[in-house]
A and B are shown apart, each in its own frame.
Chain A
């Protein structure tokens, strides 16, 4: 079952790439594959280069070193990721110890950095709120000073205000450390604030990529257009009393439509779309936009 079908991505140092898509589009699978955190039976083809080294051909020792010290992950569903019977500080220490130099103050420093305060290291996960747990996860992810932070739906279960706090935190950390970030989410409104560039995924492929603001304000691919329309801009009269959505359901990865996988739900699909599955291609220079649609970029 192909979860990801041919994805090219690049993240520059210090850049945040937003990866948007709905459930089943393959974005989480892609994120886990980046560090080979997928089940052993999964086949990954292609190449994944982190700081010049190919993750897919690394030996286990190198891979372990790369995980967490070069790239780390902030998982979604914080409550299920933290060990409920160990103190927060200890869990952070474990992450550090697993990679070499252990330093007791380090956990405290990291907790300060994420706004929790060193004293919270003595708390158990259940004593923390949702937002606080997420901060703890971020502290853990930063434990080994990675170059790249992969954040998989880090704010999904959180309230609007707490979400804003976490996003602000990530923004500060990013600027202070020159961290690159892959921010995965289904909530496009979050990306407008955090991402330098945005890639939209559908049925295992990236169907549009470009500069963050520009893409979200003016999407070109019919799916991206529909997705951005689903998140109304408050104050915009065109969405007042006009909830917009997409008919049909995301496709079954085992049973993808022929040609462009989006064509059954596409309002502007042509006959060509049923047989031709065009790849991502460059359509605009100044916005660095690429779109995978026969109808875009024909001029």
Chain B
């Protein structure tokens, strides 16, 4: 235990403590091989997505770009991953597609987590009639098959990346709400919450001082596990033709690959890369999320 100088103010000490906690998380993550490798993989994908303009020019995505290129050409020095059915560079589409897939995946998760956390928090702490109504709504979203719902919403709300992310977020929040509510219920029964009430704390003071800090690690770990689902949903929607009409995405590539018969033609460079990318990113997020859960778990138990 480090001996802090007595003149350290309590606020400095709180920050020092937070830094220490983060350092601990980092340390434990380094030891968790699966989690650490996954993090590196994700950072790699993120890097590629961010540097898309440096790797391939945007113009390569236009339908016109493929006019002078051979259709479904196998990989060569010029086209590292060959061309698609109308001659466009597959690698360019893959790299720009990663932007869309990752963006939608992460933004959708943010939407889902925000809705889920607020609903879970209110239902868990306030209880009563409000909670009953919220839980009923939550149940609806849990039970309804997400894909048909997503398709319907996509058609209604429009199909830009942002609206798609919102749509996917709407179909994904229900599970988080349940988790958050369960944790909030547990925390609000704790003796130190009763002590805060006895001291005169109001609802919001208790939520911010005691409940939220206890729920946040859970929300973070849960969020990283929602991302893979969101990415898969986006890919599925795009594959089915309900995704964004304009931008490329991995799902769209798969759709293109399938409808152009590249599978029977053995144009593996068209269907394999997007599929592998989806699987890799989903796996990486899942493993990373699990690692975070493991690291946060002893803290959830109250240390």
A and B in contact, CB less than 8 Å: no
Chain A contact residues, CB within 8 Å of chain B: none
Chain B contact residues, CB within 8 Å of chain A: none
